[in-house]
Structure 1
């Protein structure tokens, strides 16, 4: 399978962390987003970052910065659309997305998303919660460039919930284990950052 392009979604407001860029918070002596890049880069042909505001703050990473093309930060689907527009200009067929605040996602994310994609080429990652119920992770997906105009129209019409759009197009679901911990654990609060530090120390 052809390696997709990778887009790191870093456009959130980080309100539960007191604002600012969660991806630039320190984890183990380096920015949180650095851990995400290390995991995603080997899985993708090239990477870019979806982020709003001054792009210069990401210059040290040496990656393209893709702002939302729609106003008012309407959510992760707008970041997906920015990534799809970039991929179309690059001549690529699909992107894989990962969240900038999730440093432990699986190293075979892209391959398994591709293997479980629906007929439309869409796929979301999923893992079991503490009750064993599979939960989809809308910021971890495989997105075909062919659907970008449909996504743009849906966003203009006011759609914001990722799974409403992916269900509309018969997205596949790629299952992942949650042992020894959920690989899609994301850092939303200072307590989460402390947990991430413990998990990182346990992997060292």
Structure 2
């Protein structure tokens, strides 16, 4: 790994989705236990990065209590996680960072060593994605949890303009590395998509 990659990256929390399976709104503002999901994600993420921002669309004022810069998608029409990654890369470039790591706002139990493990996995690859074992798919990648170089922001911008929406469709072009995490006793990348998922998360929290 070269010297630039060794620098601690900035972090970007992806919260730009439409949350249709939860009935719309901001999943990150829903409470898990006595605290918003987003608050729990910040607590896990902030110690691992040099600076933290939130990717979200609409009125940024609804996130003021969290004290983070809010960066919106520059691609219209809810283009998915890649649009959030691009927003994060554009923000990071203005701050002088060389890399970002992204995490989803609805995944409260992701690993506390996410960032160092992604950095270790990257080696000579420009991108690294988190993954866990899956009984049906083998090693399942979690494309909202990744290490991304600012140097690829214009390449990603063009890919989005060309209609690319699937994360791995773009990352595979660049030979993404995989950081493998244990799924025992449960997958740490479990995310809250539905009311049933929130019930499960309450059980895991206890």
TM-score after normalising by structure 2: 0.95
2:15 to 10, 13, 34: 10
**Which residue number in structure 2 is paired with residue 81 of structure 1?**
86
**Partners in 1 of 2:71 and 2:123 — Cα distance?**
27
DSSP 3-state at the match of 2:122:
coil
Unpaired runs of 5+ residues, structure 1, are: none
Unpaired runs of 5+ residues, structure 2, are: 1-5
Does the 8 Å contact 1:119/1:170 carry over to 2? no
RMSD: 1.0
Matches within 5 A, 1:95-106: 95-106=100-111
Residues paired across the two proteins, number? 201
1:119 to 119, 124, 127: 124
2:97 to 82, 92, 97: 92
**Which residue number in structure 1 is paired with residue 180 of structure 2?**
175
Partner deviation per Cα, 1:76-124 (whole Å, 9 max, x = no partner): 0000000000110000000000000000000110001011115342000
**Partners in 1 of 2:26 and 2:116 — Cα distance?**
29
Following TM superposition, where does structure 1 have runs of at least 4 consecutive aligned residues deviating by more than 4 angstroms? none
1:19 to 24, 28, 33: 24
2:148 counterpart of 1:139: no
Deviation at 1:129, TM superposition (A): 1.8
Deviation at 1:131, TM superposition (A): 4.1
Does the 8 Å contact 1:50/1:82 carry over to 2? yes
TM-score after normalising by structure 1: 0.96
Structure 1 pair 119–31 and aligned structure 2 pair: CA distance change class (3 A):
same
Deviation at 1:3, TM superposition (A): 1.2
Residue range with higher mean Cα deviation, 148-157 or 109-118:
109-118
Residue range with higher mean Cα deviation, 125-134 or 46-55:
125-134
1:163 to 168, 172, 180: 168
